[in-house]
Structure 1
Amino acid sequence: MERNMISLSRRGFMQALAASGAAAPLAAACQTMASGPFFASKSAPIGIQLYTLSDMLATNLEGAISGVAKIGYKTVEIPSYMGKTPAQLREIFNRHGVKCTGAHIGMNLGTEAAPGLRGDLNKLAADMHILGVTHVYAPSMAIPTDIGLTQNPGEGYAYISRVAEAMGEERWKKLAAELTDIGRKLKANGIAFGYHNHNFEFAKAGNRTGYDIMVTESDPAFVSFELDVGWAAAAGNDIPALFAKYSGRYTGIHLKDLKASTVPNINLKMDPTEVGSGKLDWAKILPAAWNAGVRNYYLEQEPPFEEGRMEAAEIGYKYLSTLVA
């Protein structure tokens, strides 16, 4: 009897709350307490792509790493060797309690000291193991030697979009095959491999985009993808839909925001802003990324900066670390 009375009383209480308009806020508050901030609930570290701090990397690398560690970042992704040996970089990261889990390595020969993806992959893999890197990503495609285009004076980034539009299906397929070959060799050396996009990969090639071709024509056993959500959004993509479309192919993400004033394009143009200050719906994007397989999360911001670079890194971290999604 008491049990029924308690149940009725609870029901009556909720009805009274509904009548007063208080039920919805209470339900939202309970959900917030149950789930908590996204990254904490997933035990996933928030990382940063050090390109965000590029001005500091050449002049005060130690200060840059110290700064991101103090903000709270636990992992970093390097944009290059930054003029250091892997051992020197590892010492700096260790000193500040930061793990280097990702690296961007160009699709070029590189140098003897810092090999590229078309260089000595055995040496590259050994270097990555010294650093503690688990995933290497190609930051961009290389311009095909047979493309037959030259950059006009003052053309700037528009040249890249012209190249992308001229690629055609066969060149994108050839790139996918090269990515698979690189990935196979790196995997044999214990390093995972993937590709990081800008917005020019979403240029049309027949009935598909270059990005579609790269994903579908590369071998998922050897190639994953790091979705730069800022650049993908700048190309006009629905980010959660893109994660759902190619679920299982993603291992990394660049957490990058942009202003609503950004006009969809494939010309390497966007109006950047701090993560959480732009138009992207991170409460939808983060769960979509997780469900698609992403486990490497790196904040990155493009210039120009309204605040300083380190300030932007801190603004983004504070937003992401408290976001419930």
Structure 2
Amino acid sequence: MTTRKEFLVKTGMLTAGVVLLPSFSIPPKNPKKNLGVQLYTFREEMAADAVGTLKKIAALGIKQIESARSAEGLYYGLKPKEMKGICEDLGMTLRSGHVALDADWEKTMDLAQESGQEYLICSSLPSNGQTADNYKAVAEAFNKAGEECKRRNIKFGYHNHEYEFESENGEVFYDILLNNTQPDLVYMELDLGWVVVAGKDPLDYFERYQGRFPLWHLKDMDMEKKESTEFGKGGLDIPLMLKHKKQSGLKYIFIEQEEYSSTPFESMEHNMKFMKNL
């Protein structure tokens, strides 16, 4: 099974540039209102039949959609307004998208405006080296991208993997991004699974950088294999994370699972039941 990181490398997205893509609290009367999915979870299914797959996703009770860059384009071969309309007809909102901060950045923002989505999330760092200077330069580029998005009423953000939690001279690279980006311009989408795999505690980040994480990638992780698994089977204490959603500034949760016990739909059905039982 190809992991998302391997997919980005194979398609050149990890080396070609930064990839793009929101504050959430689950309303007590409707805990699924702001619960969504990152469509990379259904990457093969979306490539084969985007509309049919979205119908199956809606049937699971998912309300928020975050797209991922694919071989068929940012919207899986659909036009931005077309995908927006399909999601709305199914009772879902195309809320966010993972894209690249590259030579097509202007076009990417134009398409996002057409789709009506709220967030553009950069999902991977340019491969210019794991150095403090590179992360400071990236932070500057993120602030600029955030300004450009803000003028278009779009929120710009960044999604982490595990490598951002490496350090240089005792300074964690992810902290450099947080310390050198403007909170009103750069919204962090915290992938909780990669945080714990990196040996860090998401609650520590919620405490030190309160309100900086309006978006989550909720991903349980097999700590031995260092790959995603169904909720409750890995090393992420999901109920504990949710108790601290206010500190995080959480607005939307996007479930992402890259590896499955059987099929992505069966895994997502398990995950949705897990969340409902909370």
TM-score normalised by the shorter chain: which range applies? Answer: 0.7 to 0.9
Higher relative contact order (CA 8 A, sep 6+): 2
Over residues 46-83 of structure 1, what are the superposed CA-to-partner deviations in whole Å (9 max), with x where a residue is unaligned? 10000000110110111211111001001110012123
* Greater Cα shift, 83-92 or 73-82: 83-92
In the alignment, structure 1 residue 289 sits paired with structure 2 residue 278: no
CA distance in structure 2 between the partners assigned to 1:42 and 1:225 by the alignment: 26
Residues 113, 152 of structure 2: 8 Å contact kept: no
Pair 1:212-2:175 in alignment:
yes
- Distance in structure 2 (CA, Å) of the matches to 1:286 and 1:261: 24
- Counterpart residue number, 2:127: 143
Q: Offset of 1:275 from its aligned partner?
A: 1.9
1:1-325 to 2 correspondence within 5 Å? 39-41=26-28, 43=30, 44-80=33-69, 81=74, 82-110=76-104, 119-120=105-106, 123-144=107-128, 163=129, 167-262=130-225, 270-303=226-259, 305-323=260-278
What is the distance in 1 between the residues matched to 2:90 and 2:83? 11
**TM-aligned CA deviation for residue 246 of structure 1:** 1.4
Q: What is the deviation of 1:212?
A: 0.6
Provide the aligned C-alpha RMSD in A.
1.7
* 1:42–1:184 CA distance, 2 compared to 1 (3 A): farther
Contact kept, 8 Å, 1:251 with 1:294, in 2: the verdict is: yes
1:158 alignment partner in structure 2: none
| Higher share in strand | 2
Deviation at 1:92, TM superposition (A): 2.2
Q: Which amino acid aligns with 2:155?
A: A
Name the SS of the counterpart of 1:294 in structure 2. Answer: coil
Report the number of matched residues: 247
> Structure 1 segments of 4 or more deviating over 6 A?
none
- Name which one, 1 or 2, has greater alpha-carbon Rg: 1
TM-score, normalisation: structure 2: 0.84
Q: Percent sequence identity over matched residues?
A: 28
More helix, by proportion = 1
User: In the alignment, residue 277 of structure 1 is paired with which amino acid?
Assistant: K
Task: Using the TM superposition, give the Cα deviation of residue 285 of structure 1 relative to its aligned residue in structure 2, in angstroms.
Answer: 0.4
Aligned partner letter, 1:46:
L
Quickly say closer, same or farther: Cα 1:83–1:142, change in 2 above 3 A. farther
TM-score by length of 1: 0.72
**1:41 aligned counterpart, secondary structure:** coil
